[in-house]
Amino acid sequence: MASKSWSPTYLANQLWAKQPKANAELFALTYGALVAELVRDLETNDKIQAELDRMGHSMGIRSVEEFLAKASLEPQSQTAVTCSQFKDTSDVLKMALKMFLGITTEAGVQEDSHFSIQFAENPLSLFVELPPDRSDLEYSQLLCGYVRGMLEMLQFDVTVTMAQSVLRGDEVNEMRVDLNQVLQAGAGDDYQEE
Amino acid sequence: MNRLSAPTSISVNILDRPIGGRGSRSTSEQTVSLSMFSYLYSEIVQYHQNRVDSISELERKLEATGYGVGLRVLELLTFRTKDYTRETSLMNMLQFVSTTAWKSLFGKAADSLERSIDHADEYMIVDYAPITSTFVSVPADFGGLSVDAYISGMIGGMLDGAGFPARVTAHSVALEDVVLPPRKEKAVFLVKFAASVLERDAHLS
């Protein structure tokens, strides 16, 4: 008997509805305060972005656990999501972004080794306009690190960049995810069982 | 509706964009998940923790971060009222912070607003479950660190922005005989106003 299966969008909305919420403006202002702090402390754009990326990375690592615990993606559950190829990962990623950030994303490019995700609303940059002397700062680098951290926990070594950003004058935000390699599951060689 | 959800064109200056609230965006678009906020806040605390030598310094850092946010929140909330009012009396301002501002930021009013018995210039805003410490447990050797210092900074920013300079500190107070909610501590934000504020308030009333 074929079990009933749900679309990823439906599941994502279900997950989002169940999540306890926090005010998006408080979130945006808090992130803004952090970036302002980093600008004062670290000065160069490269260092600021590296720090944001690192923070996003560790947030992503924690989010994966919560996502897997709450999303129940096992084959026997009522889920239409299976990741047989890397590009299918984008569907699950879209679910996670909806669940944590409440944003609806659109799939952009879908190739074997890279895909992109587009979104109109960026909760990080709610009240933001970049000053002229920081116009090339990638303000939303945290999101790139976030996605990189999540996928790393799923054994994908990826490079994430903001291909387009509304803050820099593009029509839409677009995150590009490039697959470097699939990591080996399990512990390393030097791990020995007692 | 479609026009609103379309990507914002860069030609629109940030000052010309709608500031939201009052139904121009639906409530679902104005939230992120609580866990996302907590992850972010945890990163902020860790970042500062690596750059300070003492617990009190860490609290000052968090307060400083919150201060700027408080100023902006006050401005934002003021713009959203119909008549751009600013509270001028001390009690009304405290009410504004502990109910209006609290509701818009945390989705609920603060649990209580109390006046200190011993000191006329001290007030306390009490919250049983502030979101900055919902998922936080402070290690024993961290000597009474209150991670709610961020919120106390915000309160300080809001009061200062409205012309009520005050020293605001966050304290975690252990709860005896907990019934509800199931927490061992409550957060008390102690507001100590500058002498000039009390003097002015006495003149006004």
- Structural domains of chain B sorted by starting position, each given as residue range(s) with its CATH number in brackets: 35-204 (3.30.1380.20)
In a domain, A194, yes or no: no
How many C-beta atoms lie closer than 10 Å to residue A55's C-beta?
25
Q: Rounded to an integer, what distance in angstroms lies between the CA atom of residue B173 and that of residue B188?
A: 7
CB spacing of A120 vs B6 below 8 angstroms: yes
Does the beta carbon of B153 lie under 8 angstroms from any beta carbon of chain A?
A: no
Q: How far is B117 from chain A (nearest CA, A)?
A: 33
Q: Rounded to an integer, what distance in angstroms lies between the CA atom of residue A165 and that of residue A126?
A: 13
- pLDDT band at A31; cut points 50, 70, 90: very high
**Structural domains in chain A (count):** 1
Return phi, psi of residue B195, to 5°.
-60, -35
A149 with A95: CB under 8 angstroms? no
**Mean pLDDT lowest among A10-14, A27-31, B153-157, B199-203:** A10-14
End-to-end alpha carbon distance in chain A: 44
* Tokens matching residue A28: 């945006």
- pLDDT band at A5; cut points 50, 70, 90: low
| CA nearest to B76 within chain A | A25
A 120-159: CB under 8 A from B: 120-121, 123, 127-129, 142
Residue with the two structure tokens 């387009």: A164
Q: How far is B128 from chain A (nearest CA, A)?
A: 16
Name, in order, each residue with C-beta under 8 angstroms of A8's C-beta and a sequence gap of 6 or more.
A80, A81, A91, A92, A94, A95
Q: Which pLDDT value is given to residue B80?
A: 81
**DSSP three-state, residue A3:** coil
Burial of B134 (0-12, 13-18, 19+ CB in 10 A): middle
* Tokens matching residue A176: 């590009």
**With contacts defined as CB-CB under 8 Å, which chain B residues touch A172?**
7
Does the beta carbon of B35 lie under 8 angstroms from any beta carbon of chain A?
A: yes
Residue spans of chain B under pLDDT 70 = 1-14, 17-29, 177-183
How many C-beta atoms lie closer than 10 Å to residue B175's C-beta?
13
In a domain, A189, yes or no: no
CB pairs under 8 A between A and B: 117
In a domain, A36, yes or no: yes
In a domain, A148, yes or no: yes
Statement: residue A190 has pLDDT above 80:
no
Q: Rounded to an integer, what distance in angstroms lies between the CA atom of residue B201 and that of residue B179?
A: 38
CB spacing of B76 vs A62 below 8 angstroms: no
B 119-138: CB under 8 A from A: 131
Give the domain extent around A29: 2-184
A8 with A80: CB under 8 angstroms? yes
Express each pLDDT in A55-107 by its tens digit: 999 999 999 989 988 887 655 555 555 677 787 788 888 889 999 998 889 88
- The b/e string for A140-165 (b: 16+ C-beta within 10 A; e otherwise) is bbbbbbbbbbbbbbbebebebebbbb
In a domain, A191, yes or no: no
| CA nearest to A142 within chain B | B40
CB spacing of B33 vs A99 below 8 angstroms: yes
Q: Rounded to an integer, what distance in angstroms lies between the CA atom of residue A178 and that of residue A75?
A: 26
Name, in order, each residue with C-beta under 8 angstroms of A115's C-beta and a sequence gap of 6 or more.
A86, A87, A89, A90, A107, A108, A109, A176, A177
Burial of B137 (0-12, 13-18, 19+ CB in 10 A): exposed
| CA nearest to B39 within chain A | A59
Q: How far is A116 from chain B (nearest CA, A)?
A: 17
Residue of A115, A119, A121 lying closest to A85 (CA atoms) = A115
CATH of the domain at A98: 3.30.1380.20
Q: Rounded to an integer, what distance in angstroms lies between the CA atom of residue A22 and that of residue A153?
A: 25
DSSP B147: T
Looking at every residue in chain A, the average pLDDT score rounds to 85
Residue A66 CA to chain centroid, in angstroms? 14
Q: Which pLDDT value is given to residue A163?
A: 92
Q: Which pLDDT value is given to residue A146?
A: 95
* Tokens matching residue B37: 């906020």
A 162-191: CB under 8 A from B: 166, 169-172
Q: Which pLDDT value is given to residue B12?
A: 60
Q: Rounded to an integer, what distance in angstroms lies between the CA atom of residue B167 and that of residue A65?
A: 40
| CA nearest to B51 within chain A | A41
Does the beta carbon of A6 lie under 8 angstroms from any beta carbon of chain B?
A: no
Name, in order, each residue with C-beta under 8 angstroms of B45's C-beta and a sequence gap of 6 or more.
B58, B62, B147
Return phi, psi of residue B145, to 5°.
-60, 135
In a domain, A192, yes or no: no
Q: Rounded to an integer, what distance in angstroms lies between the CA atom of residue B163 and that of residue B157?
A: 10
Does the beta carbon of A69 lie under 8 angstroms from any beta carbon of chain B?
A: no
Express each pLDDT in A137-172 by its tens digit: 999 999 999 999 999 988 889 999 999 998 888 888
Does the beta carbon of A53 lie under 8 angstroms from any beta carbon of chain B?
A: no
Q: How far is A169 from chain B (nearest CA, A)?
A: 5
Question: Which of B19, B30, B35 to probe the A interface (max A CBs under 10 A)?
Answer: B35
Q: Rounded to an integer, what distance in angstroms lies between the CA atom of residue B36 and that of residue A20?
A: 10
Q: Rounded to an integer, what distance in angstroms lies between the CA atom of residue A31 and that of residue A52?
A: 10
**With contacts defined as CB-CB under 8 Å, which chain B residues touch A132?**
none
In percent, how much of chain A has pLDDT > 90? 41
Whether omega before B181 lies within 30 degrees of 0, making that bond cis, reads yes
